[in-house]
Amino acid sequence: METLIAKHWHHLPADEVVDLLESDHARGLDIFTTENRLEEFGPNMITVKGERGGLLRFLLQFHQPLIYILIAAGVITAGLQEWVDSGVIFGVVFVNAIIGFVQESKAVRALEALARTMTTEATVLREGEKLRIPATEVVPGDIVLLQAGDKVPADMRLIHLRDLQIDESALTGESVPVEKASDTLDHDTILADRRNMAYSSTLVTYGQGKGAVVSTGDHTEVGRISQLISTTQELETPLTRKIAHFSHVLLYMILALAAVTVVVGVARGQSIFDMFMAAVALAVGAIPEGLPAAVTITLAIGVSRMARRKAIIRNLPAVETLGSTTVICSDKTGTLTENQMTVQEIFAGDRRFEVTGVGYEPSGRILRQGSPVDAGKSAVLAECLQAGALCNDSLLVNKEGSWQIQGDPTEGALIVAANKEGLSMDIVQERFPRIDAIPFESRYQYMATMHDAGSDNPRIVYIKGAVEAVLDRCDSHLDESGNSTTLDPARILKGVDEMASRGLRVLAFARVELPAGTSILSHSDVDSGLTFLGLQGMIDPSRPEAVAAVKVCQTAGVHVKMITGDHALTAVTIAKHMGLNGVGDPDTGALAVVTGRELSEISDRELLDVAEQTAVFARATPEQKLRLVEALQHRGHVVAMTGDGVNDAPALKRADIGVAMGVTGTDVAKESADMVLTDDNFSSIEAAVEEGRGVFDNLTKFIVWTLPTNLGEGLVIMAAILAGVTLPILPVQILWINMTTAGFLGLTLAFEPKEPGIMTRPPRDPKTPILTMVLIERILLVGLLLLAASFTLFQWELAVGTSVAQARTVAVNVFIIIELFYLFNCRSLKKSIFGLGLFSNLWVFGGVAVMLVLQMFYTYAPVMNRLFHSAPVGLDAWGRTVTAGIITYFIVEAEKWLRQRSVV
């Protein structure tokens, strides 16, 4: 039996499949066989792969270069017996570890969610009897009976069926239920087109069926996706990659400078102990203790802002990743579109009518050449709309202010179209009550209903269905005035082709009269002699806000690609309406579209170009979605991938940023994603990209603000050692500077509003480091200014006879005040603070006020004097300190102005 797992079951006749499975379609399996197979193949459930234990996952949170630096800082401060500072540093380390631990193990949760999708029951034949058993007990060879509402328990080859329709959207992305058949298919038929198969975890929406189980558990298509999830490599985000690289460089620089300090000092005849302490001071000064906390808090603020814009972040670094995104691969149904079928065109009486309005809300008009049409004055239009409303088993309801369809979305679209001309279901059903009906059957391709038109009047039969099925039964049609005329099939088929070319799903409508008193409707009654009424063309329309969002993204240099399980023509129609940029026919402007079948024939090397140049991918399988993401990443793109189904989970996990749908998304998709949209709307992705760019800007501003302090502190220590003079600042004073300014000054930059034009600039090159050469030069400039000001004023104070403690206090105040003025420089890395808006971030002024109070306390409070070796200073010292801050501010502003002028 194990050798049968990989069979192409769709390519084999149903009877042969049953024989190969050693089963019987009339009796099913016997008890002993099922017990043996359950033991051989195991329970019908997804195996959750073993993951690292909780303790190991927690310990691995400390395995990061920046965390190593912080641990070193904590150890050093503990060695200096500065227990408070050491506790603060270790507190930051543990907070970061806890946050990372909580965000960890998404793959485990995804697999557990995937397993939960199979916890259901199944009806099987065992020894000729129908039994209801847990789905976990289903084995290969079982004969399973399906009916509307059932969840398919395992992969099955269908044997017998009656009008069976299955919703496979979670597995294939198909936007409408699939009509099943039992016929044998070609060997190379793709998964989405295997009409004779039913797959685990899909939902039966209509009809009945019987099938033989061919695969269970991990061997099902859903199980195969589980394997993809567990083996898919989850990439680091651009932020984590850049922070890791930056941390490595910083670590090496600190170690090198500390070593140089010791060597130079010893060579000059100073004691090893003194040089070791100086090296400790240098290392403490160079470590940006506030950086991890700043990164976490800035990202958390971004999370809060995104939540207000309908995007819930599950993974903190994903906030910044969105700002780095260069390609968005979006699903179609419900994300770019309304996920509400809408009639857009009607062809009746040789006239074409346009229908306005989108979705299920019954607001809109019917137009003819742009002018409103009164259906009461167009008999054929009214009759066509009435046919759609009466030949219908669905309902339009208003739940808590939201219009919804109970039943088939296609039928819902017909009800809404009729309502737009005042033909509500209540009115027409009361006027023409239903007597009998022929439900839709796949072999006939139509539905018919018979209605009472009043006493002594003939019965009216309305029929709707596939164009060919309806048209073949008609011998006349209604003209614009409602008169019966000779049928011109070629004219109608031309209208069908025009509608189909615009991606519309077309249904035909007809009517016939039966003698009064007829109570039973049969197929023979509608086999011929029908009068053709018209066509209604519908589509799941694009969201207006999504169209605008796509335009904003493309203006911002972010490529938008559509990857859908729907048909190519429908996908291209929506893509053109969305305004997607793509390489297509230069003469016609048609967008390029690649189908899943074509993707399966493309090599990995060819796929690199195809993925880059193509805007629309239709009928894509889970492996192909994963390949597309990997191909784009190979070209250096930062890829955001949207999805809602089980089939999207591997690509969501592999993408730099996985975006799941909160309303229609499966648990598996949500658990695999970094971000969940609460409104399933593409415009929320665009908003998140905008917020992500703002977050990265603010992170960059913090880094550019904080590093000159660390550089200046290190330079001051090295200068004192090289000059053989007293250290201007002590390690404990350095910690005071770093920890207080980072918390009360630097973190206020996290609240900076987004700068104008943030979505008109191209995305950052993923290869670009956090700090460009321009920013590095500015950091060096401010670091040197800090060195010059603090060292000079320290020596000045000593020269005028103040104590060493007072001189060091002045040096510390210089760092604080210059950082304070430089904070206003960093509110915009290119513009003047006055061009940005002086009061656009009131948090800055609050932070400045708190910092000044703390520094007064540091300078004049006796307890702080003892703890930090500070001493009170006079007003003249403060005057010189503030002057240094003002000079630094104007020098940086002049540097920004000169650079902007050189660019212009």
Active site residues: 331
Tokens of 67: 């965390």
Q: Is 762 exposed, middle or buried (0-12, 13-18, 19+ CB in 10 A)?
A: exposed
Tokens of 480: 């614009």
Q: Which residues of 394-426 are buried (b: 16+ CB within 10 A; e: fewer)?
A: bebeeeeeebebeebbbbbbbbbbbbbbebebe
Q: Which residues of 680-693 are buried (b: 16+ CB within 10 A; e: fewer)?
A: bbbbbbbbbbbbbb
Q: Which region, left, alpha or beta, applies to residue 563 given φ > 0 means left and ψ of -120 to 50 means alpha?
A: beta
Q: Is 585 exposed, middle or buried (0-12, 13-18, 19+ CB in 10 A)?
A: exposed
- Cβ neighbors of 594 (< 8 A, separation 6 or more) are 602, 610, 614, 616, 617, 618
Q: Are 209 and 158 in contact (CB under 8 A)?
A: yes
- Cβ neighbors of 656 (< 8 A, separation 6 or more) are 235, 237, 238, 321, 324, 325, 633, 638, 639, 640
- Cβ neighbors of 505 (< 8 A, separation 6 or more) are 341, 410, 537, 538, 539, 570
Say if strands 530-539 and 342-348 run parallel, antiparallel, or are unpaired: antiparallel
CA angle 653, 658, 659 (to 5 degrees): 140
Q: Helices 65-79 and 238-267, interaxial angle, to 10°? A: 40
Q: Are 281 and 731 in contact (CB under 8 A)?
A: yes
CA-wise closest residue to 575 among 537, 598, 547, 544: 547
Q: Are 192 and 172 in contact (CB under 8 A)?
A: yes
DSSP code of 10? G
Cα–Cα dist 207/146, whole Å: 8
Say if strands 121-126 and 143-147 run parallel, antiparallel, or are unpaired: antiparallel
CA 355 to chain centre: 32
- Cβ neighbors of 438 (< 8 A, separation 6 or more) are 444, 446, 447, 448, 449, 521, 522, 523, 526
- Cβ neighbors of 793 (< 8 A, separation 6 or more) are 810, 811, 814, 877, 880, 881, 884
Cα–Cα dist 137/139, whole Å: 6
Instruction: Count how many Cα atoms sit within 13 Å of the Cα of residue 19 in the half-sphere of its side chain.
Output: 5
